[in-house]
Amino acid sequence: MKLPHTPSFRLDNRRALVAGASSGIGLGCAVALAEAGAHVTLSARRQDKLEEVAAAFEAKGWGVDILPLDVADTDAVRDALAARDSYDVLVNSAGLAIHSPATVTDPADYDRVTDLNTRGAYFLLREVAKRLIDEGKPGSLMTISSQMAHVGGIERAVYCASKHAVEGMTKAMAIEWGPHRIRVNTICPTFIRTPLTEPTFDNPERVAWIREKIKLGRTGEVEDIMGATVFLASDASALVTGTSLLVDGGWTAD
């Protein structure tokens, strides 16, 4: 009897670009990919932070290089990626949240959020995919979206709008690029404890609301996202595209 075999979760000989890799979820994704064997390009705006993370990667013996870049600067993204070899894996964790009641949203804040979360994500995905298509190579592209791409949230109208848009473009891109063997997905976390989310966790009312919504009874940690990243990057998810992997503790199960 011939038994099936589990597809490999390994990423040896693959090149991965992680945007927003200097801290938080992006850093966790970069570590997960490197542990699975990928050569990882760490990208974020601050070169000093990237150099610090890269040194820690090198101490582990992992393949790494850095790419200082602002994802919201679409011209810079285009030029930077044109000057480098293509990437087999993309994880875009660059994102911004500015919370306020919808009735008082500042137009400048709206533009800052959508320029990075939606416009920047769109053109980063496009540039990576174009190179793969030109070279006839498959790939796995993912954006760190949010459970808020599937529900609404208090004082989060702009953030929700930006992430709902990411889900829509992910589906459309998956349809367009599927014939080229390029998969496009999102990871949608619940509230994850990172330095950027500490203001939310410092608010007792917000913490009570979060704990009421998460069915597993705890908030998320960066480690909760790492396995999902390797799964979507690897051959283990070879038939997964155009969808969202919700890592939300059951928030959206209602």
Spell out the domains of the chain, with CATH numbers in brackets.
Answer: 15-243 (3.40.50.720)
Q: 6 or 209: whose pLDDT is higher?
A: 6
Q: Do the beta carbons of residue 99 and residue 27 sit within 8 Å? A: no
pLDDT of residue 200: 81
Order of strands across the sheet that contains 139-144? 64-68, 39-44, 15-19, 89-92, 139-144, 182-189, 244-247
**pLDDT tens digit string along 79-89?**
999 999 999 99
32: pLDDT strictly greater than 90:
yes
CB atoms within 10 A of CB 186: 25
- The answer on pLDDT for 196 being more than 80 is no
Give the per-residue pLDDT at 211.
Answer: 87
pLDDT band at residue 201 using 50, 70 and 90 as cut-offs: confident
Give the pLDDT confidence score for residue 135 in this predicted structure: 98
Q: 99: helix, coil or strand?
A: coil
pLDDT at 243: 98
- Angle in degrees, 0-180, between the axes of helices 24-35 and 223-233, rounded to the nearest 10: 50
The single residue of 87, 110, 122, 159 carrying the catalytic annotation is: 159
Instruction: State how far the Cα of 149 lies from the Cα of 146, in Å rounded to an integer.
Output: 5
Residue 55 identity: A
Catalytic, 159? Answer yes
Looking at residue 205, its pLDDT comes to 85
pTM: 0.96
Cα separation, 152 vs 208, in Å, equals: 17
Local confidence band at 33 (pLDDT 50, 70, 90 cut-offs): very high
Strands (E), the chain: 15-19, 39-44, 64-68, 89-92, 139-144, 182-189, 244-247
Query: Region 175-201: what's the mean pLDDT?
Result: 93
